[in-house]
Amino acid sequence: MSGSDACSPAQVARGSRDASSPQEPCYLLRNMINKSSPLCTCPAGWKLLAMLALVLVVMVWYSISREDRYIELFYFPIPEKKEPCLQGEAEMKASKLFGNYSRDQPIFLQLKDYFWVKTPSAYELPYGTKGSEDVLLRVLAITSYSIPESIQSLKCRRCVVVGNGHRLRNSSLGDAINKYDMVIRLNNAPVAGYEGDVGSKTTMRLFYPESAHFNPKVENNPDTLLVLVAFKAMDFHWIETILSDKKRVRKGFWKQPPLIWDVNPKQIRILNPFFMEIAADKLLRLPMQQPRKMKQKPTTGLLAITLALHLCDMVHIAGFGYPDAHNKKQTIHYYEQITLKSMAGSGHNVSQEALAIKRMLELGAVKNLTYF
């Protein structure tokens, strides 16, 4: 404010000015501050107000930018209009994450690769199929590998990966989630009773034996693809006994999987371990050969995002992110009351995965429908 615009103490005290006067702000300021205030001139008053505003901004910024939290930094609200889908956009942005890894890799394992070609694998599960070829051959003979024509024929695929995080609770995202071309869900996360927050459409559900829902028809659509993520050889044995109605496998699992599982074998797909490999290598920097006591591996959620970045042109996520480590009472899922303590001994490094997802958000490879 120039010297001609400043008001003297006497001017402020009089408080009577013509409405057209250039000194009208002084009259207004007088009515906003107490007569006994040390703010006797406009410049001084505005400076103090500016300082107070700056302090408030700094306090808010600090509260959301602590190193162990990424709250609402990458929140992407649902647009009122359908966002344009650009073919190849996810592939282009994901190349900064995955480098030269080929997008031409098959999403699901195919019988011909183990029957006719006998494709060698460099790694054992979960990063390859070395040592499990025989049982896998029998499983692939009764399952399928195709992607539905309704998805295959799309010129541009809009996908959303729905995590299981507590951030989905009371989110009211259900209708928005149902509008995507592909809705990818994880493990045994329920849909029934939570449709308003998580939607009702399920195109693909990733699971492993211990996370398989005991009644898959309740939580999936009739045409949902049930995609087995094999972490160990026993996972192939389990799915074989289920689909071929053989003697059930009861040992070798950290939690008893279903012994009766009512599914159509043609709905089952076997995820290519390639995606586990690049998620571990490129996103988490994990060694492919690990000591047996270590056994770190990506979560099903990070694996699903990796898969989506290879299959889709637009990738959005919802319900990802764990509570702060010090928040021991906050639940980690939208549908049950377990806390972060349950992750102990899982072999998942949730802090490292948070950094990986943060990098995807920063690159624009994925966008977030909930805060992270």
User: DSSP per residue over 334-349, as a string?
Assistant: SSS--BGGGGTTSS--
Contact between 302 and 356 under an 8 Å Cβ cutoff? The reply is yes
Q: Give me the pLDDT at residue 237, please.
A: 97
Report the candidate in 116, 115, 100, 110 with the shortest Cα–Cα distance to residue 272. 110
- Structure token digits, residue 21: 């006067």
Q: Give me the pLDDT at residue 219, please.
A: 95
What sections of the chain are H helices per DSSP?
9-14, 24-32, 42-64, 89-98, 112-115, 133-140, 149-152, 174-178, 195-198, 216-219, 233-244, 274-278, 300-311, 350-363
CATH superfamily of 89-368: Glycosyl transferase family 29 (3.90.1480.20)
Tell me how far apart the alpha carbons of residues 371 and 331 are, in angstroms, rounded to a whole number.
16
Q: Give me the pLDDT at residue 234, please.
A: 96
Q: Which residues of the chain have pLDDT under 50?
A: 1-40, 64-75
Q: Give me the pLDDT at residue 292, please.
A: 63
Matching residue, tokens 């694998």? 121
Q: Give me the pLDDT at residue 325, please.
A: 64
Contact between 236 and 126 under an 8 Å Cβ cutoff? The reply is no
Calculate the CA 36 to chain-centre distance: 55
Phi, psi dihedral angles at 174 (to 5 degrees): -50, -50
Q: Give me the pLDDT at residue 42, please.
A: 54
> Residue 146, Cβ neighbours under 10 Å: how many?
12
CA atoms within a 13 Å half-sphere pointing along the CA-CB vector of 191: 25
Q: Give me the pLDDT at residue 209, please.
A: 97
Contact between 169 and 197 under an 8 Å Cβ cutoff? The reply is yes
Report the candidate in 205, 267, 208 with the shortest Cα–Cα distance to residue 236. 208
- In this prediction the pTM is 0.78
Q: Give me the pLDDT at residue 28, please.
A: 43
Contact between 89 and 312 under an 8 Å Cβ cutoff? The reply is no
Tell me how far apart the alpha carbons of residues 108 and 147 are, in angstroms, rounded to a whole number.
9
Contact between 132 and 125 under an 8 Å Cβ cutoff? The reply is yes
Matching residue, tokens 């900064």? 96
Angle between helices 133-140 and 233-244 (to 10 degrees): 30
Tell me how far apart the alpha carbons of residues 351 and 345 are, in angstroms, rounded to a whole number.
14
End-to-end CA distance of the chain: 42
Matching residue, tokens 């072999």? 347
Tell me how far apart the alpha carbons of residues 140 and 130 are, in angstroms, rounded to a whole number.
15
Q: Which residues, in sequence order, are bridge partners of residue 317?
A: 161, 368
Q: Give me the pLDDT at residue 291, please.
A: 66
Residues of the chain with CATH 3.90.1480.20: 89-368
